[in-house]
A and B are shown apart, each in its own frame.
Chain A
Amino acid sequence: FVNEMLSVWFYGMIIIYTIVGYSLWR
């Protein structure tokens, strides 16, 4: 996503939301 650090931010947020969503689901 555009450059390295913006990708870290963008995909990092997706990963965090997945983890939070998954653990609340459980």
Chain B
Amino acid sequence: MDNIGVYTWVGFLVFLVIMLALGYIGARQTKSVRHFALGGGLGPIVMGLSFTATYISAATFLGYPGWSYEWGLTNLWLIIAIIGGGAIGVLMVAKRIRKVNKEQKSLSLPDWLGDYYKSDFLRVGTGIILLFNIFYIAAQFVAGARVFEYLLGMDYTTGLILITAVVVLYVFGGGALADIYTDAVQAVLMAIAGIIVFVSGLVVFWNNGIAATFSGIVDNLTAQDGNLVKVFNPESAHFYSLGAVIGAITIQWAFASAPHLFNKVLGLKHDKDLGKMIVTYVITTTLCVLVMFGGLYSRVALGSGTVVADLALMGYIEWAFPAIIVAFFGVVILAAAMSTTDGLFVSISTVFANDIFLKFLVKRGYVKMGEEEAEKVALKISRLAVPFVGLIAFLIVLKPPVYMGDVMWIGISGIAAGTLGPILYAVYGRRKPSPRAADGSMVIGLLAYLILYFGGIMQSTMIAGAVATVIGILAMIILANVMKVEESELEIVAKAE
């Protein structure tokens, strides 16, 4: 354990120095806020990698193999859902978002929706819904804490305090300024790690050919528990039936066509670059999710109950590899936790400072102050938001969750349920609906999710999210058509008088 600890510390410190240096260089080069927030026309390959990194986070990288370890082959549905649902979401929405955005220059999702529907209720509501991202941050903190716990022999709480402190200081130190570049590096590292894990299992369990090797793995799993090799494992929280699988694919599709995609798609210089970005994203993601096989290998190598599910991947890696590789994986996961969360910290503090304070409270006159003074206060708010958000995320996972993947999905599902109706109608609707329809869809989708998941009606975060998202979209379509009729009736009445 000593060697691994030393390698991890050295690797982690080297990583921190490189990232802060990149942030410093990035800060000198980014000229304006607008330019900075949209990444300033970076290349499509960097954008594709960066999109992969927001999609495949540290919690994904540790948490999903944990599900494979617990539930076996059925978890391969998740690969299908991520690549299939995700790619289709991007293909459907990416081209049209650019078209709509050429007419209105908006920075963030609350801005974009608020401007498009001309609704302050929607702007502030979307901002508040984006606070669900704190769950996503919390899941990354769990990933970091688990790595510290496993590699450095700390207890979970100490590891959690350490990762929270490091991330908050890193964001304050300007680490997020190079967000897109650190994301790209993270995606490449994860793709390499995914290949290493997938191939290592074939090497370790090799038995005269690929099919025969997989047969051996399947036989071993069957001997442990027959459910581990089923297409729908009744014990799995997410893939116990065909309906559940469809739900998982739906929510992955919603995730890919949702908020954080905007900045990446809008940051490209030319429409032609979209294809390159999408190809980069699909290939890189495919390589990253191969890591889920690590959970299966872990179950074969270690059996049941030897590690907590969220650490099953690390258990396998320590079993199969020398200390330096174990430390490499640890540093990759820590790096991923940081580069995924730093962008979210920035976008949440933007919500507080820009969408709620400047564009709503000050603009509407609820807070009376001059323009210069307001700008100063907004800057203070965005600075204070960072430790505040860090503290809340810390408290959410202070009691360690059973699966970090589920904590992450609480956040994603909430955002998708509340925002996807208005987003899709803005992108695909034939005419502009009444702003009240968008407001209604947001409230109905969000309420449906809160009732379904927190009311305990559905146990799976993914399925509750999928159902609530569909309800939100249907509400949008129905309200848009009903409200349109009402307004045209009003016009007829007005003319008659």
Indicate, yes or no, whether A interacts with B.
yes
Smallest distance from the beta carbon of B71 to chain A beta carbons, Å? Answer: 11
Smallest distance from the beta carbon of A22 to chain B beta carbons, Å? Answer: 10
Interface residues of B, count at CB 8 A: 23
Smallest CB gap from B77: residue in A: A8
Chain A residues 1-26 with CB under 8 Å of chain B are: 1-6, 8-9, 12-13, 16-17, 19-20, 23-24
Question: In the complex the two chains form, is B76's CB within 8 Å of A9's CB?
Answer: yes
Question: In the complex the two chains form, is B84's CB within 8 Å of A16's CB?
Answer: yes
Smallest CB gap from B232: residue in A: A5
Smallest distance from the beta carbon of B42 to chain A beta carbons, Å? Answer: 20
Chain B residues 298-357 with CB under 8 Å of chain A are: none
Chain B residues within an 8 Å CB radius of A24: 91, 275, 278-279
Other-chain residue from A5, A16, A20 in contact with B231 (beta carbon distance below 8 A): A5
Taken together as a complex, chains A and B put the C-alpha atoms of A5 and B214 apart, in Å, by: 12
Chain B residues 215-234 with CB under 8 Å of chain A are: 215, 218, 229-231
Other-chain residue from B74, B218, B278 in contact with A20 (beta carbon distance below 8 A): B278
Question: In the complex the two chains form, is A8's CB within 8 Å of B80's CB?
Answer: yes
Smallest CB gap from B214: residue in A: A2
Q: A1-B211, A2-B215 are in contact. Are A13 and B286 (CB under 8 A)?
A: yes
Query: Does B45 belong to the interface (CB within 8 Å)?
Result: no
Q: A20-B282, A23-B91, A24-B275 are in contact. Are A5 and B73 (CB under 8 A)?
A: yes
Q: Can you list 26 pairs linking A and B with CB atoms under 8 Å apart?
A: A2-B215, A3-B215, A3-B229, A4-B230, A4-B231, A5-B73, A5-B74, A5-B76, A5-B230, A5-B231, A6-B214, A6-B218, A8-B76, A9-B76, A9-B79, A9-B80, A12-B80, A12-B84, A16-B80, A16-B83, A17-B282, A19-B87, A19-B88, A20-B87, A20-B91, A20-B279
Q: Which residues of A contact B (CB under 8 A)?
A: 1-6, 8-9, 12-13, 16-17, 19-20, 23-24
